Amino acid sequence: MEFPIYRPRRLRKPEKLRSLVRETSLEVNDFIMPLFVRPGKGIKKEIVSMKGNYQMSVDVLAEEVKELEGLGIPGVMLFGIPEEKDPKASGAYAEDGIVQQGIRAIKEVAKDILVITDVCLCEYTDHGHCGHIKHDRKGQWDVDNDSTLELLVKTALSHARAGADIVAPSDMMDGRVGAIRKALDEVDLQDVPIISYAAKYASAFYGPFREAAESPPKFGDRRTYQMDPPNAREALREVALDIQEGADIVMVKPALPYLDIIKMVKDAFDYPVAAYNVSGEYSMVKAAAELGWLDEKKIAIEVLTSIKRAGADIILTYWAKQAARWLKEGLI
């Protein structure tokens, strides 16, 4: 028997039909908005390389989060810029640290939105690395994995005690998810989940973030603890370890240059997967749009859709607020 020619184009003609067979659609529920909190009062300082994003003092932050909650955004990811930095990253786990203050202020005005905290030391160390620095016999510097774990545990506990709903270690030290899980469980914080930045690549796309968080390393780079971009199978090993150690959600970061990794992780584990559409991915579109070379909204939607299509359940993106508005206005 002869079959007629299958004509996929038939299903693409009227918009109604296109939307009926659409496989992926963005929702406000997909987005987490990263925010930067700094000391002071009444401060809202635009981040030059990330237009539309700001360093905010605690009072401004709380108001901003209230607005995001009103737009239906399910969560925010907090990063802190402390008053002072030191080799032990004391500001990261200080009872009255900047993130801890931010969490408390948000919880007073916005009860339902999830407050997720980035657990890392690089914004708090004077050298800008994500852990303790030691020198080996040859005088070569390195981040000391195991002594760093103690500081990360202290940081995660202090965020959770201040009221964080989820903690998200982003440092890439080995064993940190297990150490944080154990510590949370021991003090009756079993209900605080962990999003682990499980497959985090040593990427040049973090450039604008480091300006925003005032955290560029003063020497060397992060290639000894973050992943090597050409590696894919290694990401599966990293994710498997974090799941074994107790991660509830696993993250791939950056997103756009690593869509293959998002898909591999989703297919291999069927775990909730988050993807971080990082600062450089945002800035390059913004810059091109400002020059009139690209249509920001169309590009943003296409990028975010591709990340979801690859398998991300959650997208951390600096477009979260704008995209929530576009969705409300029916533009997506």
Question: Residues in the site for ligand PBG, rule: CB under 6 A?
Answer: 118, 120, 122, 170, 206, 209-210, 222, 278-279
Smaller CB separation from ligand PBG, 15 or 52: 52
| 82 upstream amide cis, omega within 30 of 0 | no
Task: Name the pairing type of β-strands 44-46 and 54-56.
Answer: antiparallel
- Least separation in angstroms between residue 277's CB and ligand PBG is 8
| Residue whose beta carbon is closest to ligand PBG | 209
β-partners of residue 316 are 32, 276
145 vs 170, beta carbon nearer ligand PBG: 170
Shortest gap between Cβ of 149 and ligand PBG (angstroms)? Answer: 16
Q: Closest by alpha carbon to 31, among 324, 327, 329, 330?
A: 324
Residue 257 neighbours by CB distance under 10 Å: 15
Structure tokens at 294: 């690209």
Please tell me the distance from the alpha carbon of residue 292 to that of residue 45, in angstroms, as a whole number.
25
The helix/strand/coil state of 255 is: coil
**Residues 81, 98 contacting (CB under 8 angstroms):** yes
Nearest distance in Å: CB 286, ligand PBG: 13
Q: What is the number of other CB atoms lying within 10 angstroms of the CB of residue 181?
A: 23
Q: Which is nearer to ligand PBG, 73 or 278 (CB)?
A: 278
- Report CA Rg, the chain: 21
Closest CA to 226 of 243, 206, 246: 206
Is the Cβ of residue 210 or residue 263 nearer to ligand PBG in the bound state? 210
Please, what is the minimum distance in Å from the beta carbon of residue 130 to ligand PBG? 6
Q: Do residues 180 and 169 touch, judged by C-beta distance below 8 A?
A: yes
List residues with catalytic annotation.
200, 253
CB of 170 to ligand PBG, least distance (A): 4
Q: Which is nearer to ligand PBG, 108 or 221 (CB)?
A: 221
Distances (CA, A) of 227 to 71, 204, 237, 254: 35, 12, 11, 11
